[in-house]
Structure 1
Amino acid sequence: MTLAARIDHTLLRPDCTEAEIIQLCEEAAAHGFATVCVPPCYVALAAEKLAESGVGICTVIGFPLGYSASSVKFKEAEVALYNGATELDMVINISALKSGKTEAIQAEILNLADLCHVHQALLKVIIETALLTEAEIALACQLCVAGEADFVKTSTGFASRGASVADMALMRRVLPETVRIKAAGGIRTRAAAEVLVAAGADRIGSSYSVTMITTTDETTAA
């Protein structure tokens, strides 16, 4: 698989414009990225622009803090899927995780996974590794497996750091092969992406996708 085919071409800045989303879609179609990852308000637009292109439509749920009520996340997901999303990146309730409310977290993931799968869509669960201990990362991964998530994703890009090789190694050890990993946050170069893929990442989320696949720059991500 090419690097481009592993990339979720991402634009989630709060000040992004419609014109930038259209450009994102055009770039994704031109380079063969796996998906575009756009704010929920632009899902329908992206789906229209990328119809029959082979590029998936990804959006975020409960983003970026994760502690929305489960019913709110479910409604967000329903609307996104109705508007054409094919992949949902949902932020786990980190507060609940740290409070030991594992049954509630597992139920939330399972409900959203069931909804996605009815619509032939994928669920990625963002666990925000920067805010978790190694034991909490392992527990979050286990809850994602029990909740039938398709991917576990490292980061929102809004925390103190994004994906690390150590995160990848730990997550890959805990997760079965059937559950894939998305690395995101601070991945700006081809070299950084390739290191994470080698460590276990199946998908890369980045706003620097075009530069990443059109350069041989060997510098590491900031």
Structure 2
Amino acid sequence: MDISSYIDFTLLKPTTTEREIIDLCNAAHKNNYYSVCVSSSFVPLAKQLLLDSDAKVCTAIGFPLGSMSTQSKIYEAEKAIEDGADEIEMVLNLGYMKSRNYVSVLKDISDVKRAIGKTPLKVIVEISELNKNEIIKACEICLDAKADIIKTSTGFSKSGATLTAVKIIKKTLRDRAKIEASGGIDDLDIALKYIDAGADRIDTSSIIKSGYSSRQIRNTKVYKDYIETVLNSNNNQSISTNKQV
């Protein structure tokens, strides 16, 4: 099963070196991953390395706390786009969220989205810090703010993605925005479980290759995409044969 188009290959640790960014981009290119996610300082390097690749460059702003001022997030986002970023991800202001200052949460996200225009915006809601009702409320705010993707985790908090949280987010969004599962996803079987649960993208720092899965796959998006590809291929072959006859 080919899940390469679901993978955001990520390296955001503070000690990341240029050599590691080069290796990250080479691996993303080789494995046909959807994107790489790097710190904003590495966006120009990543963009240069991926010029001959379809892989996009994503960067995280206001990372990993999300408590920076909105203006600082806007400046970082605009500079990253100028440097070549194709996607922006920002961290939800958890202090505002926990204070139930929902207007400020909305304004923070909305202002960043307005500043970056058509560039896709991910919002990391950090599910390990929120209860079920807070996750639902955070997702509703993200929808109101026109966010494109809701991401589960930064990888810098208590824990990463959970299947339960992804299902809650999926039920709340109802396909009005995409879902990215992040944290603790390091092999094909785990990745497919999250896709089953509703994830549209998988964030990982591990190389995940498409191939044999130890579990039976029936209702995943990957399986549906695979069947559609096979049917289209068979139809094209049939048309070609009829024309020859």
TM-score interval, normalised by the smaller of the two chains? over 0.9
Q: Deviations over 1:46-84 (max 9, x none)?
A: 011111411100010111111001111111111111111
- The answer for the alignment partner of 2:186 in structure 1 is 188
Contact 1:189/1:217 (8 A) holds in 2: no
Contact 2:152/2:180 (8 A) holds in 1: yes
- The answer for the alignment partner of 1:200 in structure 2 is 198
The structure with the larger Rg is 2
- The answer for the alignment partner of 2:3 in structure 1 is 3
Contact 1:129/1:163 (8 A) holds in 2: yes
Give secondary structure in 2 for the equivalent of 1:60: strand
Q: Deviations over 1:15-63 (max 9, x none)?
A: 1110110111111111110100011110011011111411100010111
Contact 1:29/1:50 (8 A) holds in 2: yes
The normalised TM-score by structure 2 is 0.84
Correspondence 1:152-167 to 2 at 5 A = 152-167=150-165
Offset, 1:93: 0.2
Extract structure 1 runs of 4+ deviating beyond 6 A: none
**Alpha-carbon distance in structure 2 between the residues aligned to 1:189 and 1:86:** 26
Offset, 1:217: 6.9
Contact 2:70/2:111 (8 A) holds in 1: no
**Alpha-carbon distance in structure 2 between the residues aligned to 1:178 and 1:47:** 29
Measured on the aligned residues, the alpha-carbon RMSD in Å equals 1.5
Structure 1: where are the runs of 5+ without partners? none
Give secondary structure in 1 for the equivalent of 2:88: strand
Offset, 1:115: 2.4
Aligned residue pairs, count: 215
Correspondence 1:39-188 to 2 at 5 A = 39-117=39-117, 120-188=118-186
Offset, 1:129: 0.1
**Alpha-carbon distance in structure 1 between the residues aligned to 2:29 and 2:53:** 6
Offset, 1:215: 6.4
Give secondary structure in 2 for the equivalent of 1:161: coil
Offset, 1:153: 0.4
